[in-house]
Structure 1
Amino acid sequence: MKKGIYPGSFDPITNGHLDVINRARHIFDKVVVAVARNASKQPLFTPEERVELIRENLVGRPNIEVLAFDGLIVDLAKREKAVALIRGLRAVSDFEHEFQMAQMNRHLDETVETIFLMPNEQFFFTSSNLVKQVFKFTDRERHLIPPNVHAALSRKFGHPKS
């Protein structure tokens, strides 16, 4: 069984992330969506909330697992017996950072490859941070996030139900 791990903070998950997950599940027998507990980023949602928001969007896809993790992603890959790390690339500006991470991960464990997938072009500009910044002032960016994330952001930012 070929297993891939898609790591990220997913704070919150966007339709771009979901697009990458769906692309990955057609390549790998199993995809593990690994939610980083990385507290240094000061996330809006707890790891448990992020895991639940993701799971709610992956119902009926038995080849996808969602879990929270601490530590190095290559160590999780080893524990999970994964053959690859899945990374989303939206624009050229992502490449340098992703390339450095891929090289460090290869240095730490050369048995784990890094696979880059691009989301659908309608999501190229989408990021969790941009969604949160826009949501501070308005809740109209519904096409960038799943409905459960829209509801969760509305609760966090105190937007009225619409």
Structure 2
Amino acid sequence: MIATMEYVNILDESERLGKMILQSDIMQDYQTTRSIMETDDEAQKLIREFSAMKEHYDDVQRFGRYHPDYYDIMKKVRSTKREMDMNDKVAAFKIAERNLQKLLDEISSFVANSVSEQVKAPRDGAALTDSGCGCGSGGACGCAS
């Protein structure tokens, strides 16, 4: 690709936009809440418990309802996720994460629409949407918490 002045200007403006995002209040809130969550022993314990339960869930999911522990694991996955989500540090991080995702979606949409109405851009936090499934499996488990 031959670099033109227009291409260089676009790259410069993109870099400037990236720096503005990194310096925004929303990004600062995201980084602060993430750091707090990552250093909180209780939050990390809950995250580890949920991750371990998700591994059990993945094993059970291969067989679906036919697995002998299916219903037990489904209940445990939902309850450990709910417990993790109810932690103040985790909840604050998730709110900050959604706010950052909303900002990035808005910027993407603005840039895409500046080019053409037909250009597709993420909307409504599509990157964080898990199809209504409470455990983040993409809806495969059928839970709705």
TM-score (norm 1): 0.23
For the pair shown, which has the larger CA radius of gyration, 1 or 2? 2
